[in-house]
Amino acid sequence: MKLEAIELRRIALPLVSPFRTSFGTQTERDVLLVRAVTSDAEGWGECVALLEPMYSSEYVEGAQHVMERFLLPRLLAQGDVTAIDVARLLAPVQGHRMAKAAVEMAVLDAELRLAGRSWAREMGAVIDRVPSGVSVGIMDTLPQLLDAVQGYVDEGYVRIKLKIEPGWDIQPVAAVRERFGDIALQVDANTAYTLADAQHLAQLDAFGLLLIEQPLPEEHVRAHAELARTVKTPICLDESIVSAQSCVDAILIGAVHIVNVKPGRVGGYLEARRIADVCAAHDIPVWCGGMLETGLGRAANAALAANPAFRLPGDISAASRFYERDIVTQPITLDEGYVRVPEGPGLGTVIDQAFLDQVTTSVTTHRA
């Protein structure tokens, strides 16, 4: 495909309610969107980097700068590109996986739209709907948490994920288990603990959790293997898995039992598929994580989660979990605990241009 231009657009979307985790509270999203313009089709990509480098080292302003200064010039100089080329062409630029992933996503979407092929087919999807889990933030009080979880249970979510941190862990889990019985339940610490907390975290073993997600810092991969000697609840890694190679390494040292796959975190949907294949080969279940995506990333994630390696409900909730209104004409909705896998070429989404223009804060166009 002849890549003629790449447009970078920033949009501001308020969250329906503050989302508090161990690394901070988010009340609105500043999202960087990528539009790849080729001779025959256009494609959209979404960068999952947050406003501040608190979840990982990337942040939205930095991602835009790296795209404009280092990534787009390399790609546009190429002229003819296909999605499979993007990672190789951008590999000389170290890191910045969320920025690279957004660019690859836009090129892949254009390519698939041109070819009339669906994202689902490209991701190896074998089903047309996937089970939906929801991520529940840290609250000020237990009654507030139980009310929120009641709301999600009533909506039909099949799995609840509770954000935890020191001082908000055993009690919230006990209260939710006590109130909602044998509901599918897991926790996410976003790296908030150390090995010294092993005995404390082992108290969670009493609650029959599916998994405990990223208890220790991103780089402390081996320490998770040590933690697994004390904590019997399966260990899931999120922040630590940045590529198929890092995933294999974590598996081989016994640091991970379940993998949270986030395409943005690993440099793109093509690498995410490789991670799914690697985990399937090692009989390690994977599930699709969420980064509060708009309808673009949410559609792509639903398609990825329909790949048979994805054996647990993902954080692919209805758009309404986070947003009053989405930037696509058919936002992802919940249907008896499941979300549908979009059909149609590419992402299978249609941009709501009027609303997109309304929430746009900047647009820059880059040509060869």
Quick one: which segment of 3-11, 52-60, 83-91, 233-241 binds Mg ion (CB under 5 A)?
233-241
Please confirm, yes or no, whether 2 is among the known catalytic residues.
Answer: no
The beta strands (E) that lie in the chain are given as 3-21, 24-38, 42-47, 129-131, 133-136, 159-163, 184-188, 212-213, 235-237, 258-261, 286-288, 338-340, 360-367
What would the two tokens of residue 166 be? 């020191």
CB of residue 238 vs Mg ion: minimum separation in angstroms?
Answer: 4
Distance of alpha carbon 188 from alpha carbon 260, whole angstroms = 11
| Options 2, 100, 161, 262, the catalytic residue | 262
CB of residue 169 vs Mg ion: minimum separation in angstroms?
Answer: 15
Nearer to ligand NPQ, 20 or 100 (CB): 20
Give the angle 96-98-101 at the CA atoms, nearest 5°.
110
Contacts of 285 (CB under 8 A, 6+ apart): 258, 259, 279, 309, 311, 312
Q: Which of Mg ion, ligand NPQ, none is residue 50 near (CB under 5 to 8 Å by kind)?
A: ligand NPQ
One-character DSSP codes across 145-182? HHHHHHHHHHHT-SEEEEE-BTTBSHHHHHHHHHHHTT
CB of residue 34 vs ligand NPQ: minimum separation in angstroms?
Answer: 17
Distance of alpha carbon 361 from alpha carbon 1, whole angstroms = 29
| Options 2, 100, 161, 163, the catalytic residue | 163
Contact string (CB under 5 A) for Mg ion, positions 145-184, x = contact: ----------------------------------------
| DSSP state at residue 75 | H
Nearer to ligand NPQ, 3 or 50 (CB): 50
For the chain, how many residues are written? Answer: 368
- Binding to ligand NPQ (CB under 6 A): which residues in 275-314? 289-292
Q: Which of Mg ion, ligand NPQ, none is residue 19 near (CB under 5 to 8 Å by kind)?
A: ligand NPQ
Contact 244, 272 (CB under 8 A): no
Distance of alpha carbon 44 from alpha carbon 57, whole angstroms = 24
CB of residue 219 vs ligand NPQ: minimum separation in angstroms?
Answer: 16
Out of 38, 56, 186, 190, which residue is the one contacting ligand NPQ (CB under 6 A)? Answer: 190
Q: Which of ligand NPQ, Mg ion, none is residue 318 near (CB under 5 to 8 Å by kind)?
A: none
DSSP bridge partners of 53: none
CB of residue 36 vs ligand NPQ: minimum separation in angstroms?
Answer: 23
CA dihedral 191, 290, 177, 205 (to 10 degrees): -40
Tokens 């992802």 label which residue? Answer: 332
Nearer to Mg ion, 240 or 349 (CB): 240
Please confirm, yes or no, whether 163 is among the known catalytic residues.
Answer: yes
- Choose among 171, 100, 177: nearest CA to 140: 171
Q: Indicate whether 56 belongs to the interface with ligand NPQ (CB under 6 A).
A: no
What would the two tokens of residue 97 be? 């996986």
Q: Indicate whether 42 belongs to the interface with Mg ion (CB under 5 A).
A: no
Q: Which of ligand NPQ, Mg ion, none is residue 292 near (CB under 5 to 8 Å by kind)?
A: ligand NPQ
Count residues contacting ligand NPQ (CB under 6 A)?
Answer: 15
Nearer to ligand NPQ, 21 or 38 (CB): 21
Q: Indicate whether 238 belongs to the interface with Mg ion (CB under 5 A).
A: yes
Nearer to Mg ion, 42 or 188 (CB): 188
Out of 58, 122, 169, 188, which residue is the one contacting Mg ion (CB under 5 A)? Answer: 188
Q: Indicate whether 132 belongs to the interface with ligand NPQ (CB under 6 A).
A: no
Nearer to ligand NPQ, 111 or 315 (CB): 315
Biggest CA–CA distance in the chain, Å, is 60
Residue 291 amino acid letter: M
CB of residue 122 vs ligand NPQ: minimum separation in angstroms?
Answer: 24
Cα 154 to Cα 133, 151, 200: the distances in Å are: 13, 5, 32
Q: Which residues of the shown chain bind Mg ion in the complex (CB under 5 A)?
A: 188, 213, 238
Which residues are catalytic, by number? 163, 262
Q: Which residues of the shown chain bind ligand NPQ in the complex (CB under 6 A)?
A: 19, 21, 26, 29, 50, 55, 135, 188, 190, 238, 289-292, 315
